[in-house]
A = this chain, B = another copy of it.
Amino acid sequence: MRVSKAQAQANREHIVETASVVFRERGFDGVGVADLMAAAGFTHGGFYKHFGSKADLMAEASANSLAQSLASAEALSVKDFIDVYVSRDHRDGRATGCTMAALCGDAARQSDDLKSAFAEGIERTLQTLGEKYPTGPDAAPGEARVKMIDLLARAVGAIMLSRACPDDSALADEILAVCHAQMTASLSVQS
């Protein structure tokens, strides 16, 4: 049952897309190659026609979803980014949310290949949002980047701590509400 080159390429992209969602939902170790292929609508045997190993797909799926999140962040102001990111919807929507928040704990234990994908995702996020960071007129050069690094760490930390609490826990919501307020407030304080 050979398939056209265009179809094969589309299928490959569909597998990467599916993997980027399922990995975020269940973690790299929480999904098998067979699960992944079934979720994409295929049988597991064809996997190695597209990828050298599961680890290769992990890196590619991460790069894919990091790039995707970045694309959606491009349309946002820093304030809007905070609203979207530090929210209950984002916390509860791991599968379609930020890859950093969903997988950076796992990434820390993976190959440098995978970590490079994360570093690039982080760097691009810093650049994209850093350009829009509202610094004062007499801000030092690099001020926006510094503020943006701090902001990203706060955002990722807030989501991850909130997700580590039991569902419907008051603490989980408190963390989000407090961090959202503090981050928003820090935006209007120019240094």
Contacts and interface: CB of A to CB of B under 8 A. Distances in A.
Given A119-B169, A154-B150, A171-B119, A161 B104 contact: yes
Interface in A114-130: 115-116, 118-119, 122-123
Interface stretch (A26-34, A36-44, A68-76): A26-34
Given A122-B164, A171-B119, A109 B157 contact: no
Contacts of A29: 27, 29-30
Contacts of A107: 163-164
* Residue among A29, A150, A155, A163 having the largest count of chain B Cβ atoms under 10 Å: A150
Interface string A140-152: 0000001101101
A172 B171 CA distance: 29
A83 B132 CA distance: 30
Contacts of A103: 105
Interface of A: 26-27, 29-30, 94, 100, 102-109, 112, 115-116, 118-119, 122-123, 146-147, 149-150, 152-158, 160-161, 163-167, 169, 171-172, 174-175, 178-179, 181-183
